[in-house]
Structures are given as structure tokens and as C-alpha cells.
Structure 1
């Protein structure tokens, strides 16, 4: 065996607090990569979709999450359906209450639309994080607990706070470029298994860089 079965909802049956969310029933406009998990100690992790708010199929915006991401409990994805029209005197959504007010129902073109929300590969999202519409989070990034992410996050950086701000880079520019070219998350299961020690050790990146340069 070269690792857990990626097609199981619960990779370990004795642990019901985390699951591979790609194996939940499919939801329109949500794409999730292999081995990405959601962990929740308060409710079943199978309720992951309930943390995606204001996601209406007719708007067409997608939530895209890459492979090998770790998402902690309390995550909230705010999608474009939460937006109010902002070009008038008031932002109050009269139309949703009916009673004749629906005469000012805005068109999709009149509403702010931030596009798809995209989470890269190997992203770690801490507890109680809120991610706003259209945010792009790069590969290998870390989002600190209790953060609200309102703007794009560069690959292999750490962000935190409300609104989330840059804290530091995880690696220098050359190492980040190497990792983005490496894309270890796209390796087959056997290759990942054979390189686990390098992928998880303090000096693993330097060893990988050295071995790749020697083989090139």
C-alpha cells in the first residue's frame, strides 16, 4: 500500500472528524482536488458544503480547491451571490422582499462580480477563516486562524488578520519557483510515498533541489 485510499470519504474509519471532501456528493460549480480534507470537531465534516454561502448556480461563479489542502473547522466561503448593488444611493436589497419592490431587481451585470474563488494546492487554512468572493490563494500558502481574506494571496506566503495581511514568505523566490515547477501534488501515489521524508523534513527542500540539479 502506498498511502490511504483517496477515493474513501473517511481515510481512517476510526476518525470521523475529517474527510476527503472530494468524495462528498458533487455540487454544481464546486471543484475539489484529491486528498484535500476538511476537519471539524464540532459537527460532521460531511457538512462542508454548508460553509459555502450565497453560492447560486445561475451566477456561474465557481469555488475551486486544489489537491492536498488542509481546511480547518469554521471555514466560510462567501460567494458572489452575497453582493449588493453599489452604484445607487443605497445598497439596501429592496427587491428580495417583494410587495412591489421587485420592480428594482438588478440585473447580473449591475451587481459586483469578483469571479471564481480559487484555492491552490497544498494550502493550509486555519480555524474560523472567512474567504471573500473572487479571492485567489496560491499554492503552498498558509492562512492563519480567525482571518478574513479579502485579497489575493501569493504562493508560499503566510497571511493573517482581519483583513488578512502578508506576514512572511515561507521560502525565498528561487525556492518558490522550484516548488511551483516541481508540483509534487501531481506526482503519482508511489512517488509521493517514496519521497515522504523529503516532503516533510526540515532539510527536504534543499535535498530535493540538490538531487534535481544533479540529475538535470
Structure 2
């Protein structure tokens, strides 16, 4: 089977602008799934320069799933950039130590938790993801978008602040994809299914869903599509 090695840094022959991120990041608070790639016009090995205000003492994580496509200049703003807007001043006195250290206990009012990106997500050029955002599986983030709140699975968002443009598929297709979760299959099954996954033949996708052993769709288990669409809003 001739497929990209998930353990390689540069999976495309003679292309050095694109890398598999999992094999590049060194920060233990950044977790990347297999086959997720980053494309950078200058140096894709320097992805962590785009993960901003990511301080060890805060401990927040950037978690990105499998088979994601991340374009050049995408930035992730982490919780270290936040100030506590619920206090009477946003100035971070505690961060400077000394006699101001008493202010440390109130710094965390601006922290919003980990940033999570699902699987099969495409993030376009120059997009910015703000702290604590959750991006659902199979979503698309348009170029130059500023994502300030959670993004529903299977949706397309764009703008500043990013807003819903539309959902990528009809409800039945979303139901099949949600049941299949193809990114969790073994690589042999994924490879066999590439013609279906890269096409738009709904009947072929349905046949795949019905023939996939263990598929929730094949078991007749239906999911609440409205819940899926709103689960991250």
C-alpha cells in the first residue's frame, strides 16, 4: 500500500512548504492528530510561532484532530493573551510579582480553557482562532476569519467575528458522516474509501455507511442532527 507515512515530516515529494504537524511540534501542551498538515510559505517547521501567548504556567492546551488542513499564517491565540475583564482593572498586576503578586489570584478570570479543533477541519489562510474555542469535525474556517466562539460541526464560517455562512451538507449526509467518523478508521479502509470520500456521490456514501462494520448508521442508530449542529454554539 503506497500511502503517506504519518511519521514523516515532509509527506509530499520535493515539497518543503508542507509538513505533518504531529512530527514537528515539541510543546507538550500542543496535541496533533495523524495526517494533519500545516502549509507555510516560509517555514512550516516553525508552526509554534503562530501559537501565541501560550504560557506554561497557565497550562492550557491546543488540541487538533486528524486529517486537518491548516493554511499559512493561521494563528491560535491562547489564554495568556486574556485579561480579567470582570475585575475593576484589566492590568495584570500579579504577573509582575513582588508586592503585586497578590493580584495573581484574580488573573484567571480571563481564562477560557483549552482550544479544540476536531478532525477533517480546513482552516484557511490568515485565520485567527481565539482562546478556548471549539471547532467541530468537518468544519471550514474561511480565510482571514477571526473565530471568537465555538464552531458547529459540518459548518462553514467566515468574517470578523466569524459567523455561520452555511452548513456543508444536508441533514442526511451529516448524519452519515457523523456515524461513520471515517478519520478513525484504519488506514487500509480509508485508502479503499478515498474515491467515495473525495467525491460527492451521496448514494455511494450511503452504501459505504451501510456496509461499514460497526457503523452507527448501519446499526440503525440515528442521531439528533439539530443537536449536532448546535452542540458547539
Query: Among 103, 108, 128, which residue is 1:130 paired with?
Result: 128
Instruction: State how many pairs are aligned.
Output: 213
How far residue 188 of structure 1 moved from its aligned partner, in angstroms, is 1.4
Q: Return the offset for 1:107.
A: 1.8
Alignment partner, residue 27 of structure 1: 27
Provide TM-score, normalisation by structure 2. Answer: 0.85
Tell whether the 8 Å contact from 1:85 to 1:106 is kept in structure 2 after alignment. no
Unaligned ranges ≥5, structure 2: 213-217, 219-233
2:206 to 206, 209, 212: 209
2:80 is paired with a residue whose SS is: helix
Corresponding residue number in structure 2 for 1:77: 76
Gaps of 5+ in 1: none
Q: Is the 8 A contact 1:19 1:38 kept in 2?
A: yes
Distance in 2 separating the partners of 1:112 and 1:209: 45
User: CA 1:25–1:76 in structure 2 vs 1: closer, same or farther (change >3 Å)?
Assistant: closer
Q: Comparing 62-71 with 177-186, which one deviates more in the overlay?
A: 177-186
Deviations 1:139-171 (A, max 9, x none): 000000000001111111000000000000001
Instruction: Tell me, in whole angstroms, the C-alpha distance in 2 between the residues paired with 1:9 and 1:101.
Output: 47
> What SS does the aligned partner of 2:172 have?
helix
Tell me if 1:5 matches 2:5: yes
Match of 1:196 among 194, 197, 204: 194
Question: Which position in structure 1 is the counterpart of 2:229?
Answer: none
Correspondence 1:164-175 to 2 at 5 A: 164-175=162-173
Cα offset, 1:106, TM superposition = 2.4
2-structure distance, mates of 1:180, 1:140: 9
Aligned Cα RMSD in Å? Answer: 1.9
What SS does the corresponding residue of 2:110 show, helix, strand or coil?
coil
Distance 1:108 1:34 in 2: 38
Contact map agreement 2:155 2:166 (CA 8 A) in 1: yes
